[in-house]
Amino acid sequence: MTLIALVRHGETEWNRLGRVQGHSDIPLNDTGRAQAAGAGEALRGGDYRRLYASPLDRAKETAEIIGRATGLGEPVLHVGLKERLYGEAEGMTALDYWSTYPDRNAPGSESSIELQERALAALAEIAEEAGADPVIAVAHGGLISTILRYASGGSLPREGEHVGNGSQQIVEVIGPDVRVIGYNGSPR
């Protein structure tokens, strides 16, 4: 059994503006750095032994800030933790994306099923490597929401909630099974 704290990266300007980021490599803004520092403080003393992050700058920088706060140092980068690839929708406002692609499948995008398979494979790889060591993994809202939906049978995130920047969701990985232990979704 591996305990994993899934942390969403801090805010970027595209988050602030409501733009779809996907694999676009947008850096943290000052608010995002403060959120990362807050997440680091919240996770300090949690007996975490390993730190992983998506290689996208916003997640990597969030993890570096958390690593300093927790004493875990630099994160191990894991490509499986990257956000969903949104293809041609990247850079659009979320409202334009939803109205243009009501099925959520823009040309060149990764499907929801592909994202779920990739996210679960990443968790399994991290859990296998970490063993019983508790882990912090810094990732993205879409990926974390996908894991929560899978692990909760679709009940999380709740209607009207999203995974907030800097929030922590705690999951337990036992082989192929993922169970939500702690949920900190925030209202829109």
Give the tens place of pLDDT for each residue, 15-34: 999 999 999 999 999 999 99
Q: What is the distance between the alpha carbons of residues 11 and 158, in angstroms, rounded to a whole number?
A: 21
H-helix or E-strand spanning residue 53: strand 50-53
Give the tens place of pLDDT for each residue, 82-126: 999 999 999 999 999 999 999 999 999 999 999 999 999 999 999
Q: What is the distance between the alpha carbons of residues 185 and 169, in angstroms, rounded to a whole number?
A: 8
Bridge partners for 2 per DSSP: 173
Contact 139, 7 (CB under 8 A): yes
Q: What is the CATH number of the domain that holds 138?
A: 3.40.50.1240
pLDDT for the residue numbered 187: 46
Domain that holds residue 136: 2-187
Contact 65, 91 (CB under 8 A): no
**pTM of this prediction?**
0.96
pLDDT for the residue numbered 176: 86
Token representation of residue 172: 């337990």
Does the structure show a pLDDT above 90 at 175? no
pLDDT for the residue numbered 129: 97
How would you class 17 by CB atoms within 10 Å of its CB: exposed for 0-12, middle for 13-18, buried for 19 or more?
exposed
pLDDT for the residue numbered 188: 35
pLDDT for the residue numbered 185: 57
The catalytic residue positions are 9, 83
Mean pLDDT of the chain: 96
Contact 22, 104 (CB under 8 A): no
pLDDT for the residue numbered 184: 84
What value, to the nearest 5°, has the Cα angle with vertex 169 and ends 148 and 110? 45
Per cent of the chain over pLDDT 90 is 94
Domain count, the chain: 1
Residue 74: DSSP 8-state = S
pLDDT for the residue numbered 50: 98
